Amino acid sequence: MNRNADAAPLLERINGLPLLRPWGVPRSLRQVCCVICHEHLGFLPRFCAAYPDLDIRMLMVPDLPEGAPRSFSLPGPDHAREIPVRGVERLGTTPQWAKIFLVPDVVMLAAVCRLMAVYGGGMLYLDGFREPPFGRRPPLPDFFARHASRLQAVFDLLADEASRTTYAARIKALMTGDAGYLPLAPHGEYEHPRIRPRPGDIMIDGGVSDMVGAQIAFAGQVGPTGRIHGFEPIPWMADAARKTLAPWPCYRLHTAGLAERRGQAAFASLRDSSHICAADGDGTVRCELVSIDDVVREEGLERVDCIKLDVEGAELGALRGAEATIRRFRPRLVICLYHRPEDLMTLPLHVKSLVPEYRLEVAHASCDFTDTILYAEVPEA
């Protein structure tokens, strides 16, 4: 009885959340603005034939080429109609029209949604003459019921309204199997305006792969006076990443995974990521493991300013292997919450147990189930 009463605020928030990116266009819509990539403009006549009552007032093209025509001619029953074509920078100036993204690409859609977040968010209908290619997964309808008290505990710890909304939306997305409930933050993954690497920082970067765009950005942020210790367990990925990162001497890459303690484990190696397996087998690689506390001691690090963990579901083990470092230095934390449903509870509660003064925020950065991030910092006195 008491537990249900305690869970009510979060449950009410979950129940009240709207679907922000529904697939399909309601027949009730009339005047609309269509967002469409330049290569897909040829789909417009077919779309208009499918929705003859729609009055398209403007086309916004995210990748509008320089010098491209600023109008698009649509055939009509009596005569062709010219529709203005603009870039998506106009999103904030047309609140009077519902927005439809036609034939959405997941990366371009995320960029558009981040821009919409700058202007206060809102619903974006998706239509593409195909089954939804992203944003769907098997639902977990009883997820909240099974974990209500711990989910409520995390919800109550979050520092701002945007984080609480995103956290509730993550739960609803898991329960329904639809990522369209998740609002995108104005910033990208790892790009929180405050909780990120800074010039001169000593940083621990857990989870690299061979795709090192984020690592190059981190190196630029800490600059020549900073140092980054990165960790990638798969040898061939580490070798490829090390070669690409060679122009940034502040970045040192270790061929090891982060864990609670030093050892070895079998990893399943995918194209751009890897994760620990229960046992060796076909397609697995035997890799070294090390703890952050070991690295800090062996490297003689005088401080750690920022820790980022994107280690494919091994975040809790990596945090347990960093307890002394986190308690001593209280670094800014950037931790992925999306690899396992239970991480929504275990990771924030563990972080708060180590340093109660941590201020916790949650943000989401994609139109799929990836890129929900826990950000933590101790506010400056």
In CATH terms, is domain 202-377 a member of 3.20.20.140?
no
Q: Are 231 and 267 in contact (CB under 8 A)?
A: no
CATH, domain range 31-127: 3.40.50
Per-residue pLDDT of the chain (381 residues; tens, 9 = 90+): 334 444 569 999 999 999 999 999 998 999 999 999 999 998 998 998 888 889 999 999 999 998 888 999 887 666 678 999 999 988 888 889 999 999 998 899 999 999 999 888 789 999 987 778 899 999 999 999 999 999 999 999 999 999 999 999 999 999 999 999 999 999 999 999 999 999 999 999 999 988 899 999 999 999 999 999 999 998 998 999 999 999 999 999 999 999 999 998 887 766 555 555 555 666 678 888 999 999 999 999 999 999 999 998 999 999 999 999 999 999 999 999 999 999 999 999 999 999 999 999 999 999 999 999 999 999 987
CA distance 181 to 123: 10
C-alpha–C-alpha distance, residues 348 and 19, integer Å: 26
Q: Which of 216, 225, 174 is nearest to 344 (CA)?
A: 174
Beta strand 257-258 with 251-254: parallel, antiparallel or unpaired? unpaired
Render pLDDT for 185-240 as a digit per residue (tens, 0 to 9): 999 999 999 999 999 999 999 999 888 999 999 999 999 999 999 999 989 989 99
* β-bridge pairing 55-60 and 257-258: unpaired
Q: Which residues lie closer than 8 Å to 8 by C-beta, 6 or more apart?
A: none
Question: Residue 46's CB: how many other CB atoms inside 10 A?
Answer: 10
Q: Tens digit of pLDDT for each residue in 56-89?
A: 999 999 999 988 889 998 876 666 789 999 999 8
Angle between helices 343-354 and 143-157 (to 10 degrees): 30
Structure tokens belonging to residue 330: 């209280």
Residue 262: closest CA among 217, 215, 297: 297
All CATH 3.40.50.150 domain ranges of the chain, comma separated, are 202-377
CB burial of residue 146 (10 Å; 0-12, 13-18, 19+): exposed
Nearest to 164 by CA among 175, 174, 153: 153
Residue 34 in tokens: 């269509």
